[in-house]
Amino acid sequence: MDLGTHAGFIIASYAVCLAVVIGLILWVVIDRKRQEADLEELAEQGITRAGAAKGDTGQTGPKTSEAAKA
């Protein structure tokens, strides 16, 4: 594979893009864990969503598998 005289720039741009994508994925994974921990802490304090009845799971409709059965 011959990238010509611009090989350094091409490889560098792919490396930067890969680093950005990996960084974004890590950011999302870390933020999800933090959000779940915050929600668990709020649930332990008895704080729920506004308008949620006790025992409400937050589901707005039937699951996909249940909808397919109907």
Cα separation values, 44 from 35, 54, 61, Å = 14, 13, 25
Distance of alpha carbon 33 from alpha carbon 8, whole angstroms = 37
Over residues 17-52, the pLDDT tens digits come to 999 999 999 999 999 999 999 999 999 998 887 766
2: DSSP letter = -
The pTM for the full model equals: 0.59
For residues 49 and 41, is the Cβ–Cβ distance under 8 A?
A: no
Q: Which residue has the higher pLDDT, 58 or 31?
A: 31
The share of the chain scoring above pLDDT 90, in percent, equals: 59
